[in-house]
Chain A
Amino acid sequence: MEITKGNVEHVAELARLEITEHEKDIFTEQLSNILDYVEMLNELDTKEVSPTSHVVPLVNVFREDEIKEVLKKDEALKNAPEKEDGYFKVPRVIE
C-alpha cells in the first residue's frame, strides 16, 4: 500500500504531532514499507473468522458502588506543569 506525503500529514494532524519536512519524508517511506509488509495478511481468507480483541474470555466486571478514598486534590495536581487555585492550567482554548 502506497502512502503519500499527504496521508502522513493528515495522520500527524489526527495524532496531534507536529513533524518536520524531513520526518515527513522518512515516515512516508517507512510507513509504506511496513504497510507493504502487512499486505501479506490479505493472503488469508478471514470472511468466516470472528475478530479477537482479547484472548482471555472476559465478561463485564461489576463491583458495589462504595465510597472509597480517592487521590487527594494536591496529590493529583502534584505532577502538573502548571496549576492555579487547585486547577490544572491550560493555554487559551477559545480565541
Chain B
Amino acid sequence: MRLKRFREIFGIGLLSLSAVIVVLILCVIIFDITTKGSGVVSWEFLVDFPKEGMTRGGIFPAIIGTIFVTIITTIFSIPLGVSAAIYLSEYAKEGRLTRLIRTSIRNLAGVPSIVYGLFGVVLFVQGLHFGTSVLSAGLTLGLLTLPWIIATSEEALKTVPQSYREGALALGATKWQSIYSNVLPYALPGILTGSILGLSRAAGETAPILFTGVAFFLPKLPGSVFDQFMALPYHLYILSTQHHAIEQVRPLAYGTALVLVALVFMMNLTAIILRYKLRKKF
C-alpha cells in the first residue's frame, strides 16, 4: 500500500519535473534574448534601414521582407493544402492509391528544409524562370508548409461529427453542400489554427529562402514579387556568423532575434485567440 502510494508520487513528480524543465528552457531562451536584445529594440530599430554595413540602423526591410514572403506562402499553401485535406477527408475512397497519397504527404513533412531550398532553386528559380525572388522563396516555403497544413486540416475535418454530414445529406443536400455549409464551418477553427502555426514556422525558416531569393542587404524594399528581399531569420544568421564585425553587431543580432521571436509569438497568439473566439460561436 505504501509502495503504491510512493510509486504514484514518484511518477507524478517525474512528469511534473519534465514539464518544469521544458518551461525552464523556454524561459531561459526568452530571458537571454530579451535581456540582450531589448536594449537595441526601439522604434527606430523597427522602421529604419540598416546603415553603415549593418552596424547601425534598423531592420525594417527584413521585417517587411519576412511579412511579404509569408504572404506569398499563405496564398499558395492554404488554398491548396485545405483543398487537398478536404479531398482526402471527404472524397477519397480508402484504397491503395489513397494510402499512397497519405504516406507521401507524411514523408514530405520529414524532408529537410535545405532540400526544399535546393528543390526550390531547380523548380522555381531556374525551371520556371522566376529567378531569385520573393515569389520563388514564397513558393518554396509553401511547399515546406503544405504537408503540415494538409495534416492539421485533415485532423480538424476528422473532428467534425459524422452526424453533421448525415444530417445535411438526409435533408437532400449534395455532398459538397453538406461539406460547405456544415463541415467546413465546424472545422474552420482547427484549420485556421493549424495553418497559422504552420505559417509561423515558415516565417522563421532560413534554409529554403537561402538560394531562392533572400539577400543580406538591399538598398530598397522589393517592388514586386520578382525582386529579391531581406528576411529576419537570414539577417539574424548573417549578423551572428558571417558579419565582418561580429562582436560589434551582436546586440543587433539579439535585437533581430527578439523581433523574430516576437513576430512568431504574435502569430501563434493570433491563432490561439482566433480558435477561442470561433469555438465560442459553436
Is B a genuine binding partner of A?
Answer: no
